Amino acid sequence: MSENVNFNKQVYNKAEYTKVIDTSFKELGVQTIQEQLSQQPSVNDFFAMYNELFYQIPELGDTNSHEYLIKTSSEYINFNANQDLINALQAEINQLRADLLDSQKQVVELQTGTPLANPQ
């Protein structure tokens, strides 16, 4: 039960070949720069993705974490510019607390007539 099969071969010369056969790499995933840029997420897309992934992002870590985002964003916007003022105000608060404690201790000593021991 043999069967004859006929093959037809069509030959093109060099000038016809480029007109008939597409030799570009469209099917291999090569994209133009404009196509690549259009596929980049916008700022709105980024924040939508961030909100979706918020609880999947680790809290701490050198990269890919909330800590990393805070540090890099803080550096970018110079967020710690007021850090010296914050530190000075915290030191003042601590001093005022110590002064208040001393004043309260003096009031108790005056009311009771008994000197209180200084905490170490």
Residues 28, 19: Cα–Cα separation, whole Å: 20
Average pLDDT, the chain: 87
Residue by residue, DSSP assigns 72-117 as HHHHHTTGGGGHHHHHHHHHHHHHHHHHHHHHHHHHHHHHHS-PPP
Residue among 55, 75, 59 nearest 67 (CA) = 59
pLDDT tens track for 71-98: 999 888 887 778 888 899 999 999 999 9
Residues 30, 11: Cα–Cα separation, whole Å: 29
pTM of the model: 0.44
- In the predicted model, residues of the chain with pLDDT beneath 70 are 25-28, 118-120
